[in-house]
């Protein structure tokens, strides 16, 4: 029997409009840029993947442009001619020729899994060990920066039964202003919703000591990455002192980071992101480390479009427990999509079908329309 080989891998940059500006501590997104990957195999099957960053180089070490350049010049040529069915060997080959590049590798691993799922007639979740649920509760990020507007937006989401978990992006404003903003939203929503904050590393330790205490004592459920990822000792101290759980996000840029954080006791919750670990299979290794250490899990996002969101979702479906839910709302932030059928959100959850692969088909006309020239 002839082996099924990888014939080519193409990376396409797509710029999609969003429903509103999305304000983070380090950057305000006016649209979202995706890198869509198309992996063609000798049996005629195409696997699709996605590599997406938040704010490009303002957030991390990879940008859409660098992802495409490194795939075109290094990663795609290394894959050509390899066994398309042996995902493990293919990803090990990439790890040997390129350090880091986890966003690019995540998109490639997703495409390999999508192709294999289509080939075998199985959803990606079954290739990853088997789903234990069919849907995931999804948080919504309130990131307009305006308190009244954020409260109104949250009320709309609750009324529509779309979200009852809300994360606030803070850190760009003075500490007292951010605290007042978060507590006003919590007071308005009360026990009807969970309210969390994401500081994106923008506090120093002295600010974080006060911020975590005030927020935790006033009903904020979770505090994400309050200080710099490089201040490991400070993270340990905060995790011991904060009345609200502290979640590591930017601190986890690899599976090895997850192990080190767990060993040091630097966080009580881990944000899982396939892009920062190198793919759906890689993020499950981080989850296993956390579970072994009694660290709770949260399904994070890089605000991917439908392809990247479903790749994350298939991995998260297999986890024994997601104590803090997920934030796989990326497609809902977009006014246009490049797939024929949008992911289904209802009753506070994202529902994932049992169709082969990721369960998505690219819309060629929209892809051509939004493709960057």
- Which residues are designated catalytic? 169, 327
With beta carbons less than 8 A apart as the criterion, state whether 228 and 253 touch.
no
Sign of CA dihedral 345, 346, 352, 354: negative
- Tell me, what DSSP letter sits at residue 331? G
CA separation for the pair 19, 265 (Å, rounded): 39
- 191's tokens: 């026990």
Task: Tell me 5's DSSP state.
Answer: B
Rg (CA), the chain: 20
d(CA 310, CA 181): 32
Instruction: Give, in order, the Cα–Cα distances in Å from 264 to each of 234, 235, 293, 329.
Output: 11, 9, 11, 31
Q: How far is CA 360 from the centre of its chain?
A: 18
């Amino acid at each position: 029997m002839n082996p099924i080989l990888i014939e080519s891998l193409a990376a396409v940059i797509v710029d999609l409009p969003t429903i509103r500006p999305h304000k983070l501590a380090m950057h305000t997104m006016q649209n979202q840029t995706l890198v869509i990957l198309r992996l063609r195999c000798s049996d005629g099957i195409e696997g699709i993947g996605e590599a997406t960053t938040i704010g490009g180089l303002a957030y991390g070490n990879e940008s859409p442009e660098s992802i495409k350049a490194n795939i075109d010049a290094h990663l795609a040529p290394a894959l050509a001619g390899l066994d398309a069915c042996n995902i493990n060997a293919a990803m090990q080959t990439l790890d040997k020729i390129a350090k880091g590049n986890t966003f690019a590798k995540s998109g490639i691993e997703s495409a390999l899994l999508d192709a294999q799922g289509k080939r075998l007639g199985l959803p990606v979740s079954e290739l990853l060990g088997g789903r234990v649920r069919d849907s995931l509760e999804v948080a919504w990020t309130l990131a307009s920066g305006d308190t009244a507007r954020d409260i109104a937006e949250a009320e709309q989401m609750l009324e529509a039964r779309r979200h009852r978990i809300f994360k606030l992006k803070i850190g760009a404003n003075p500490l007292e202003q951010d605290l007042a903003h978060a507590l006003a939203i919590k007071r308005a929503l009360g026990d009807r919703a969970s309210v969390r904050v994401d500081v994106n590393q923008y506090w120093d330790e002295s600010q974080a000591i006060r911020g975590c205490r005030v927020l935790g004592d006033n009903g904020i459920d979770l505090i994400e990455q309050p200080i710099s990822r490089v201040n490991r000792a400070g993270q340990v101290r905060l995790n011991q002192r904060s009345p609200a759980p502290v979640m590591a996000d930017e601190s986890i840029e690899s599976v090895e980071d997850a192990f080190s954080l767990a060993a040091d006791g630097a966080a009580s919750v881990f944000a899982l992101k396939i892009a920062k670990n190198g793919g759906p299979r890689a993020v499950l290794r981080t989850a296993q480390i956390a579970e072994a250490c009694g660290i709770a899990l949260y399904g994070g996002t890089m605000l991917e479009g439908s392809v990247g969101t479903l790749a994350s979702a298939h991995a998260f479906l297999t986890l024994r427990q997601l104590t803090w839910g997920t934030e796989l709302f990326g497609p809902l932030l977009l006014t246009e999509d490049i797939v024929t059928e949008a992911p289904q959100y209802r009753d506070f959850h994202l529902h994932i079908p049992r169709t082969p692969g990721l369960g998505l088909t690219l819309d060629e006309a929209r892809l051509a329309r939004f493709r960057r020239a």
